[in-house]
Amino acid sequence: MQTSDDDISEGLGLWKEVASKGPKRAARLTGEDGAPIKTLYTPLGRRGKYVEKIGFPGLPPFTRGVYPTMYRGRPWTMRQYSGYASAEATNKRYKMLLKNGQTGLSMAFDLPTQLGLDPDDERAYYEVGRVGVPVPTWKEMDIAFAGIRQDGVSTSMTINATAMEELAMYVVSAESKGISPASLEGTVQNDILKEFVARNNYIYPPGPSMRYAADVVAYCASHMPKWNGISISGYHFEEAGATPSQEVAFTLADGVEYVKSVTERGIPVDGFAPRLSFFFSARTNLVEQVAKFRAARRIWCRVMEEVFGARDQRSKMLRFHVQTAGVQMTSSQVEVNIVRTTVQALAAVLGGAQSLHVNSYDEALGLPTEEAARLSLRVQQALLYETDAAASADPLGGSYMLEELTDELEERATSIMKAVEKLGGMVKAVESGYPQKEIERASYEYQLRVEKGEVPIIGVSVLREEGEKPKEALKIDPEARRKVIRRLKECRRARDASKVGRALSKLSRAAEGEENLFPYVLSCVREGASVGEVSSELRRVWGEWDRS
């Protein structure tokens, strides 16, 4: 006998009568988006009607996941973000993680490399190797991957303003070992729009920056079929203070802008869209985070069908990487971060992520120690091997709470995307400052809630411990900086300066026109040009972006 709307309504009335007599305390009353969390969710949803049909995993609109059997068919890629001090230290960390069962590599670059500065540049000196590995030439890339078959592991590269140079270095390193670029598998972040909004590691103005990013996507689609030419990132929006709906909306709006940029070159959407990838954060509000991922998949499928006319099912799939929320880690009672990141990793798994990085518990203090990095990997392995979270495709599907939150997040995110569209797209929105202001407002409002005690944080606003002993942080050997600068100078002496000069001149002329720049950057890198030299040529042609 099927339950009717009237039966559910009558039962809801009886429940309200009983619940009104019970205790009123609750640990959390609102989600990260500010929406109230109900005491009870029912199949009637918000409008008094049954929750809509949610479909099946592997089929549009992919609410329940992009693959039919999800992790029963293939586990997510365990991809711990690593890179610091020097290429040698990074290589050692990679090998340790691979030995302990990591299934994909994720490369962190230092700030000078991200900003197109060589390590001997006076502006770079104090940041060399501090928050990532310095890679000024392909020789450093070669050292970082010494003893690691680049065609035998998937590599993610978190690099944006110099994505073309660093991917070219990865290609040249592989070629030096006899490996074809077509066999390389991985992702280059290459998402410059989010830099303008949330992270500020940009170099050129938005227009040339978009051309640069689209060149990488187009080149990879033609020459590196296993490589994702872009990872459209919402993680940095979240870390800057965005709500879940803002994270989804601004990320997908960025995606729309990149797809437009590539299709305007005459490249069919199904010729590159299957290799688009995305990057989100996972916070401790577990069910809301799962709903966020589901809503994002549903919206992207609709956009690709209705806006771009995609026919290939793979073009409509939102495949994404997740990193646990660094902004929610605390330097007090750092061991509690293990609990936080485990919950966040579970949200990523229940939400259907394709790859995952779990922050190390000591990252609020500095770069992760080897012990902490290994433990973060073990969190992922425990979720896969010792729980049933990955045993079934979309295990939470059909939960009244989850489905209603998914609908609500979809509506909120879609509304924000429409506001961006009215401004003329994400590039125009960024130039006007709209997403920046909205995220700043959300961040401020969240902080007010923390300070009022509405958002309890263990060790910060509640359950504080007096006399806590500081933990030991990883120290960077200053010799690492001197070593990379010494090798850079040796590389400059050993190369043919005239060939480098000619390659850089050709790049400069191409930048003034409309050709795809990747082959020119690749030629520069093969001749031994550094990231600073390539970037200097592009700076000369395009200028630097001054937001003020």
Range list of H helices, 387-472 = 400-422, 426-432, 434-451
Range list of H helices, 307-399 = 313-316, 336-350, 370-386
Sorting pLDDT into bands at 50, 70 and 90, what band is 20?
confident
- 417-437 mean pLDDT: 97
Portion of the chain with pLDDT greater than 70, in percent: 97
- 411-439 mean pLDDT: 97
Task: Give the pTM.
Answer: 0.94
On the question of pLDDT at 40 being above 90, the answer is no
Angle at which helices 286-306 and 244-263 pack, to 10 degrees? 20
On the question of pLDDT at 546 being above 80, the answer is yes
Sorting pLDDT into bands at 50, 70 and 90, what band is 474?
confident
Q: Provide the pLDDT for residue 16.
A: 82
Instruction: Report yes or no: 51 and 403 within 8 Å, Cβ to Cβ.
Output: yes
Task: Give the SS3 label for residue 281.
Answer: strand
Q: Which helix (H) or strand (E) holds 254?
A: helix 244-263
Amino acid symbol at 11: G
pLDDT 10s digits, 342-376: 999 999 999 999 999 999 999 999 999 999 999 99
Q: Provide the pLDDT for residue 33.
A: 87
Domain ranges of the chain: 73-451
- Report the DSSP pairing between strands 154-158 and 104-108: parallel
Domain 73-451 is of which CATH architecture? Alpha-Beta Barrel (3.20)
Q: What is the mean pLDDT of the chain?
A: 94
Sorting pLDDT into bands at 50, 70 and 90, what band is 472?
confident
Supply angle C-alpha 386, 390, 391, rounded to 5. 90
Q: Provide the pLDDT for residue 12.
A: 76
Q: Which residues contact 463 (CB under 8 A, 6 or more apart)?
A: none
pLDDT 10s digits, 288-338: 999 999 999 999 999 999 999 999 999 999 999 999 999 999 999 999 999
What's the token pair of residue 65?
A: 């996941």
pLDDT 10s digits, 28-38: 678 888 888 88
In 3D, which of 545, 538, 542 has the Cα closest to residue 506?
538
Q: Provide the pLDDT for residue 368.
A: 94
pLDDT 10s digits, 146-200: 999 999 999 999 999 999 999 999 999 999 999 999 999 999 999 999 999 999 9
pLDDT 10s digits, 246-299: 999 999 999 999 999 999 999 999 999 999 999 999 999 999 999 999 999 999
Q: Provide the pLDDT for residue 478.
A: 84
Most confident among 27-36, 405-414, 467-476 (mean pLDDT): 405-414
Q: Which residues contact 472 (CB under 8 A, 6 or more apart)?
A: 369
Portion of the chain with pLDDT greater than 90, in percent: 85
| 3-state percent helix, strand, coil for the chain, nearest multiple of 5 | 50, 10, 40
In 3D, which of 105, 165, 104 has the Cα closest to residue 140?
165
In 3D, which of 203, 207, 147, 138 has the Cα closest to residue 173?
138
On the question of pLDDT at 510 being above 50, the answer is yes
Angle at which helices 434-451 and 400-422 pack, to 10 degrees? 140
Q: Provide the pLDDT for residue 2.
A: 52
Q: Provide the pLDDT for residue 36.
A: 85
Q: Which residues contact 15 (CB under 8 A, 6 or more apart)?
A: 40
Task: Give the SS3 label for residue 394.
Answer: coil
Sorting pLDDT into bands at 50, 70 and 90, what band is 1?
very low
Sorting pLDDT into bands at 50, 70 and 90, what band is 51?
low
Q: Provide the pLDDT for residue 50.
A: 56
Burial of 491 (0-12, 13-18, 19+ CB in 10 A): middle
